[in-house]
Amino acid sequence: MRTVLRTENLSKWYNAGTRHEVRAVDGITLEVKENQSVFFYGPSGSGKTTLLGLIGTLDRPTSGRILLFDRDVTGFSDAELSRIRRQTIGFVFQSFNLLSRLCAWENVSYPLIPMGITSASRFERARVLLERLGLGDRIDHPPEELSGGEQQRVAIARALINDPDILIADEPTSNIDADSVTTIFDIFEDLKRQRKTVIVSSHDPSFQSWADVWFHLHRGKLEAQSSATGNGDAAQ
């Protein structure tokens, strides 16, 4: 299996050298292979969101390297990173980040607009995805008319619309009700069955049973990593 993501001594510090220095991510080296389901867990403030932001190219590291498909993207320009994100990464945010003025299918099809796809085609693709995720009867509803779980499903659909190589989900179940959590779990199980490369961060340990590989973060450092085959490693 080829490596889709590798980090080398990745760090993200805020206010470095001052009294208020925060080492959100500190020297993390890890690898993610193709088709793996990866789980980052740790308490609040352990650096999960920051780390996902770095490997999702939404943020720049203070030091270290990030390699996507063996390409060092650390020094890439903003424009190039935007292209990479558009083509290879789907991101699901903790707080959904849906556009309130657009209905469900419009939110889902939004990433397709810069690709020059026609409106009819965008609608069709969004409809198919939303139906797969159980929202076929809610495609015209704006976010305010959807429950938390439904909004999260719309966000997942949006992340999947351009068939990304990697799906990154940051705390996908933290802002939704218990019933919806089950639904979201089912979706991720489905994605795993489809052999998608999925990276999830959460403080909910339930994802451990779902993941192929999991990493434990504490105070910005990688404390331990383990896999479903039972090979646990201490942090490198």
**Alpha-carbon torsion (53, 54, 58, 61), positive or negative:** positive
* Minimum gap (Å) between residue 32 Cβ and another protein: 20
Phi, psi at 7, each rounded to 5°: -115, 145
Measured from the CB atom, is 15 or 118 closer to another protein? 15
One symbol per residue from 14 to 53: x for binding another protein (CB under 8 A), - otherwise; what is it? Answer: ----------------------------------------
77 binds another protein (CB under 8 A): yes
At residue 94, φ and ψ (nearest 5 deg) are -60, -40
Phi then psi dihedrals of residue 39, to 5 deg: -130, 125
62 binds another protein (CB under 8 A): yes
Contacting range for another protein; rule: CB under 8 A; set: 72-80, 104-112, 119-127, 188-196: 72-80
**Segment contacting another protein (CB under 8 A): 22-30, 56-64, 90-98, 195-203?**
56-64
- Residue 88 binds another protein, judged by CB under 8 A: no
Binding residues (CB under 8 A) for another protein: these are: 60-63, 73-80
